[in-house]
Amino acid sequence: MGGANNICSDKTGTLTKNQMTWTQIWAGADFKIKNPDGTDKLEVNLFCKSEFTKNLLAQAVSCNTVGTSTEAQATELAMLKFIIRCGVDYEFLRKRYLPKEMIRFQFDSARKRMSTVLELKDDEKTEHNYPKRIHIKGASEIILETCTHYLNQDG
């Protein structure tokens, strides 16, 4: 180390191990769920107060991620592992909602977001009776600019 000019450390393991863990999620006005060790399976009723919000969150993570619970980029792997701990079967949701001719806009640095269009079942159409839903993830300042509504603690 006598000849080193810079020493970088990574105490979380995100860089050295390519591992990340969701430790907190905000799912409505008064709901914060903490599970920092990543080992406990969360009770489904703790996941969200509203069934509607819980289902939206499960759809969003399941269908707007790329990869599997064993092979994915670090951020997406952390998201998938979180919903698995919450008892969500992401593979089932992908089969249910992602059409064969899927519309997906992959994340890129110019857009700063990723979007996936889901096809809803007849009994799940939106409040506007529309058979599709789009889930978007990315930079919060970009996503918030496009929002006209939000979900509160009651969904």
Query: By C-alpha distance, which of 92, 155, 112, 105 is closest to 135?
Result: 105
Token readout for 19 is 């591992």
> Is residue 108 among the annotated active site residues?
no
Q: How far is CA 112 from CA 13, 38, 90, 128, 136, in A?
A: 24, 27, 24, 28, 10
What is the Cα–Cα distance from 96 to 90, expressed in whole angstroms? 10
CA distance linking residue 125 with residue 33, whole number of Å? 28
Choosing from 10, 30, 40, 122, the catalytic residue is 10
Give dist(CA 108, CA 148) in Å, integer: 23
Please give the C-alpha separations between residue 33 and each of 23, 24, 36, 47, 143, in angstroms, as whole numbers.
8, 5, 9, 7, 22
List, by residue number, the catalytic residues. Answer: 10
